[in-house]
Amino acid sequence: MSTALVQELSFRERIAMLRATKMRHTEEKWREIGSLDMDDLPIMLPPPEMRKIVRIVSGSGIVISDALFSNFIPTSNHPSGGFFGARACGENFRALLDIHPPYVDPVSSLAGGYMASFLAYRDPAWNPDCDYAHLHAEQNLYKLHHGIGAVQHFCQDMTIGFRLGWNGLLDQIHRYRGVQRDDEAQELYDGLEQCVLGIQNWIERHAAAARTMAREEMRPELRKNLFELAEMNAALVTRPPVTFREACQWMLWYQLAAKMYNMSGSLGRIDQFLYPYFVADKERGILTDEEALFHLACYFIMDTSYTQLGGPDAEGNDTTNPLSFLVLEAAHLLKIPVNVGVSVGAHTDRRLLRRGVEILFEDKTGIPKFLGVDRTSEGFARNGYPIALGRERTYSGCHWCAIPGREYTVNDCVKINLPVLFDTALRDMMSDPALEKNTTVLWARFTHHLRRAVDVIAQSLDFHMDHMFQVYPELMLDLLCHGPIERGRDASHGGVEFYNLCVDAAGLATTADSFAAVEQRVDRERKITWVQLRQELDADWAGPAGERTRLMMKQIPRYGSGSSRADDYGKMIAGLFTTSVKAKPTPHGFNMIPGIFSWAANIVMGKDVGATPNGRHAQSPISHGPNPDPGFRKDAAPTALAITVAGIQPGYGNTAPMQIELDPGLSKNNEDIDKIVDLIITHFDLGGTQINMNILDKKAILEAHKDPSKYPDLVVRVTGFSAFFASLSPEMRQIVVDRIIAEG
Amino acid sequence: MPDEKPVPSMSSAGTVFHIQRFSIHDGPGIRTTVFLQGCALSCFWCHNPEGSTTHPVLQFYADRCTACGACVQACPHHAHEFRDDVHLFHRERCVTEGACVESCFSQALLLTGRSMTVAEVMAEVLQDTAFYERSGGGVTLSGGEPSLSSAFSGELLAQCKARGIHTAVETCGEAPWASLADLLPVTDLVMMDIKHMVPDRHRAATGKANDRILDNARRLAGTGKPIVFRTPVVPTVNDTEEQIADIAAFIRTLIDQRNGSAAPPADRAHIRYELLTFHRLASDKYRSLGREYRAATLEPLPKSRMQELADVAAHLGVDTAIR
Ligand code: SF4
Ligand code: SF4
């Protein structure tokens, strides 16, 4: 072996190597399991000798492939073959961790990586004993995404883990075992304990693996790194983290386990809870900015969960600090889909926002996104909470916020498909001879069905809250919440302080445009009769005459054009939806909070709806989030878009995010960057809650659409999340392409 | 009675071919640019050929036509015809009253512009007030040539000023001084094109010599109004160092003239220069108008070349930017 002096690898080189490894893993995933249509999760495939490919239903409802460990079969505790309840879930999760091989990259300052999604081993996922057949009829009629069985989608408080460490958490479980003696509590403690023991064992094996690798590693700086990893992780099996690097490593263990358990993807305000470690280490002279940046990059390579930067403290003062900037720079360095959101409010630091916009234009990865923190905290207060609590609510998911460790939300899991309700109303009107046929009557039927759909959602949520703990409790999130251990109750069953259940509407533009189209073309201009329209819809605008009718219906002043009838309908629908959700809590008394967001589910939700009078074809995607459909105005003016979306906000703390695509050519100099910054701030001034901004390079996107494999690095913001373009299904890619074509 | 300002009228009508909101390259801040139909020059590379005539004309986008035949029925002048399944448009028969446009739902037939009152334009313009206020933006009148519709332009600008909205006018400079001067009291910033310093070359490229434009430029400099002179840098027309230096030297004399006329030196910043990057994205529009696009074969200049030219101007002491 050569003994020549090798140049030490710099941090930047190590990051480039980590990124290359990640890209290799990602491309292997695309090859083995195909398109994903969801957040870019850094999950890796199990080693080939332990790998089994299966077909499952993806998050956006499409059947996709998934890779499982061939050597893990969960133990059932139910005749259905499934496993249910805290004890069975904990034991099986531990068994999965026990066969999960360690993953140590000698280049990274942090150990760990994950290859399994425990959710994929649940079959059946729902306990058939918890029967909700009484709700089926209406859930199906309205095609509701009703939330029964929803997992995670709220946010832990990482500082609990930082304070206690894994042994501290075990102690806590043991202590309360003696206090809460009922069966439900005892079973929960069993489950939680299994999780912690499994994680500790898993970390221990990483420490051992790092030590073995260190002995064989020839490059001195990596050898040193591996020894450090071995030592640090041997300690973190039991004690809490002390240094910045340890805190990053602890956080990574928790997040990896939480991701594996049920894909939990919330991080929250890492620039706040890591800050004390950052400051202390810098004061002791054991950490430089460059090193901190490196640790953060090593972290994001393995976990890209949702993160808020800056934003108000309880009194409303801005919390932006040097670490906020470093987190942004880490995402910039990596150019992978790290889900970072920058806070924008009356008192927030414009420099952070400005830097965010610069990075957005430079990287074109849709990162960061922008958070209207004043609007969401004020809105939350309208539910009857103090504003300080609203400020504590943290961006931690695709379009949503939660109070870390204290609030259960089912955010982004409950969706009402407005176009289905429109179609139901239209069929009602047409089939009832007693009803007059006009838009006013249609609106009345729509109102009826929307209220009914909200009622069905409320009942479904109650059912979920009654039973989820018996099916698949939130073991990983319970560990870092205030209350579940102390009360002996799962977070979904009374474990935490606040319950604010999310109810989102989807397909706003499709519905608003449909109302305006029938009002103009059928009622006012009489260009087509109701009967003819119904026939055209049922025939999906077949034939040349149908196509002409379709174009006629589409060719109206659309939602988003500004002061059109469709804009009026957009506001009326959003208002009706909001008042329906806020009219009363669920029958069991849970507060519900309205939002307007489809996520990437606008594709699968579209499959539930036939042709609609806005000229949309049957089964094609419904409109995205609260956005107008592409082509809503000739000038595609971002200001018109910003005013439209600001004008339909439900206003109770949950969001209706604006999705906006801009041409890279818009930003030619510093002045232009400032204009984009002003666009963002003004949207929030006008009432907006979140902005997902995409800088789309038309040429690259169109070429990548033809052959995605040629552009493995291309990242786009699809919706609340960014993802590698190549990882999207052809349908989802088409949606992105349509947006830029329409923008001209 | 305290002296009340007369309320500007809103009744004048102008032919508007486009209103672009979130216009960020036509003056300071976030702006709305109103494009008025009609221009005195006929630059062969024009990006907005639909704005060149004073009256709207019909645009026919053949690739969008679904061959539904409705326009054939709608046109009383038989300007549309299908022969062997091909849609023929006889432009010479068209009197542009727009009946066919109403019948076409495919956006294949469009009128370039439409008559709008000042009140109608203001309704659109005022929607973005919050953005102007936040960014220091406002309204830009462009064209075509806004001074050709000076009554309308004057009223529109006065309406904006009455509401505290910053105003800018983009002009090709080819207009009687009086009609430009009329707009100045209600204009905060003038953006004027200078395309070439040699009269014959100017005529060859734009259809008119440049004497009136240069004369207007001098008079404008004399007023003390903030000015941005702009040159669309077009290959074969004005993309050499000498040609840009010529224009910049002229601008430099105007700066000196203004500074010399007892204005403080800081006022220099009130005359700036911009080089506009040529692109050839207008072919679809030319085709829809049945016009030849002579610039279609020109190669856009790379950024680096634009920078070289901008440096030439900057060396002459002119504050220069690339757009
Ligand atoms: S009406 Fe429009 S789509 Fe129909 S034939 Fe005429 S141009 Fe073509
Ligand atoms: S604008 Fe009028 S005259 Fe011209 S083609 Fe259309 S219908 Fe015929």
Query: Mean pLDDT of residues grouped by 10 in chain A (744 residues)?
Result: 58 91 84 68 86 70 76 96 97 97 96 92 93 96 95 96 98 98 98 98 98 95 96 98 98 97 93 98 97 96 95 96 98 92 94 96 93 97 97 95 97 96 98 97 98 98 97 97 98 98 98 98 98 98 96 96 96 98 98 95 94 97 94 90 97 96 83 95 98 88 84 79 80 80 52
A188 phi and psi angles, rounded to 5 deg: -60, -45
CA angle A552, B23, B35 (to 5 degrees): 65
> Ligand nearest B101 Cα, by number?
2
- Residues of A in Cβ contact (< 8 Å) with B322: 668
Say if ligand 2 is within 6 A of residue B194 CB. no
Provide the CA A224 distance to its chain's centre, in angstroms: 37
* pTM as predicted: 0.94
Residue A727 has phi, psi (to 5 degrees) of -85, -5
Closest CA to B57 of B86, B91, B18, B30: B91
B31, B135, B139: best to mutate for the A interface, most A CBs within 10 A: B135
Which tokens hold the place of B65?
Answer: 């036509």
Residue nearest to atom 3 of ligand 2 (CA): B94
| Two tokens, residue A260 | 């594996």
| pLDDT for residue B290 is more than 80 | yes
Provide CB contacts within 8 A for A285, sequence distance 6+: none
Q: Per residue, what are the HEC states of A11-47?
A: HHHHHHHHHHHHHHHHHHHHHHHCCCCCCCCCCCCCC
Query: pLDDT over 90 for what percent of chain B?
Result: 83
B61 in contact with A, Cβ within 8 Å: no
Note which residues in 540-579 of chain A have CB less than 8 A from chain B: 544, 547-548, 551-552, 554-555, 562-563
**pLDDT reading at B47 higher than 60:** yes
Looking up tokens 């450090």 gives A228
Residue with the two structure tokens 């073995």: A212
Distance from C-alpha of A601 to C-alpha of A69, rounded to nearest angstrom: 28
Cβ distance A544 to B68 less than 8 Å, yes or no, reads yes
Report the nearest-CA residue for atom 1 of ligand 1. B104
Q: Give the pocket of ligand 1 (CB within 6 Å).
A: B 65-71, 80, 87, 103-104, 106, 108-109
Q: Judging by DSSP bridges, how do beta strands B271-277 and B320-322 pair with one another?
A: parallel
Q: Where are the domains of chain A?
A: 1-131+157-263, 132-150+396-473+499-625, 267-291+319-372+659-744
Sign of the dihedral defined by the CA atoms of residues A558, A562, A568, A570, in that order: positive
- List the one residue out of A339, A331, A301 whose CA is nearest residue A114: A301
- Determine the residue type at A543: G
- The stretch B123-133 carries a mean pLDDT of 97
Interior/surface letters A61-98, b for 16+ CB within 10 angstroms, e for the rest: bbebebbbbeebebeebeeeebbbbbbbbbbbbbbbbe
* pLDDT the model gives residue A555: 94
Q: Is B141 helix (H, G, I), strand (E, B) or coil?
A: strand
Q: For residue A632, how far is its CA from the centre of ligand 2 (angstroms)? A: 26
Residue B105 and residue A669: Cβ atoms within 8 Å?
Answer: no
Name the strands in the sheet holding A340-344, side by side, starting at the edge strand that comes first in the sequence: A266-268, A306-309, A340-344, A369-372, A690-695, A658-662
| Residues B38/B172, Cβ–Cβ less than 8 Å | no
Q: Which two tokens stand for residue B242?
A: 């000498």
> What pLDDT, on a 0 to 100 scale, did the predictor assign at position A213?
97
The reply to whether A666 touches chain B by the CB within 8 Å rule is yes
Q: Which residue of A has its CA nearest to B21?
A: A637
CB within 8 A of A362, min separation 6: which ones? A332
User: How confident is the model over A257-294, as pLDDT tens digits?
Assistant: 999 999 988 999 999 999 999 999 999 999 999 999 99
Centre of ligand 2 from the C-alpha of residue B57, in Å? 10
Distance (angstroms) between ligand 2 centre and the Cα of B99 equals: 6
Q: Is the pLDDT of residue B4 over 70?
A: no
In chain B, residues 62-91 whose CB comes closer than 8 Å to chain A: 66-68, 70
Question: According to the 3-state scheme, what is the secondary structure of A253-305?
Answer: HHHHHHHHHHCCCEEECHHHHCHHHHHHHHHCCCCCHHHHHHHHHHHHHHCCC
Tokens encoding B199? 């009269």
Q: Which atom of ligand 1 is nearest to the CA of B66?
A: 3
What are the boundaries of each domain within chain B?
Answer: 13-53+115-322, 57-112
- Residue A66 tokens read as 């998934």
Reply yes or no on whether the pLDDT at B238 is more than 90. Answer: yes
Residue for token pair 């490229």: B205
Would you say residue B2 has pLDDT above 70? Answer: no
Locate the ligand 2 atom nearest the alpha carbon of residue B111 and give its number: 1
Interface of B with A in 297-316 (CB under 8 A): none
Greater model confidence, B262 or A344: A344
Q: Nearest ligand, CA of residue B288?
A: 1
Secondary structure element (H or E) that encloses residue A578, with its range? helix A565-582
The closest of A640, A634, A610 to A622, measured between CA atoms, is A610
pLDDT computed for residue B137 by the predictor: 97
First to last CA, chain A: 59
How much of chain B is in helix, strand and coil states, percent to nearest 5? Answer: 40, 20, 35
pLDDT above 90: residue B258: no
- Evaluate the omega torsion of the peptide bond into residue B144 and state whether it is cis, within 30 degrees of 0: yes
Query: A216 phi and psi, to 5 degrees?
Result: -95, -10
Q: Return the structure tokens found at A625.
A: 């989030």
ipTM: 0.92
Rounded CA gap, B79 and B63, in Å? Answer: 18
Over residues A187-223, the pLDDT tens digits come to: 999 999 999 999 999 999 999 999 999 999 999 999 9
On whether any CB of chain B is under 8 Å from the CB of A742, the answer is: no
Q: What is the mean pLDDT of residues B222-250?
A: 95
φ and ψ at A607, to 5 degrees?
Answer: -70, -15
| Token pair recorded at residue A261 | 């358990």
Q: Tokens for B320?
A: 């220069």
Classify domain B13-53+115-322 by CATH number.
3.20.20.70
Q: Is CATH 3.30.70.20 the classification given to domain B57-112? A: yes
Check if the beta carbon of residue A38 is closer than 8 Å to that of residue A721: yes
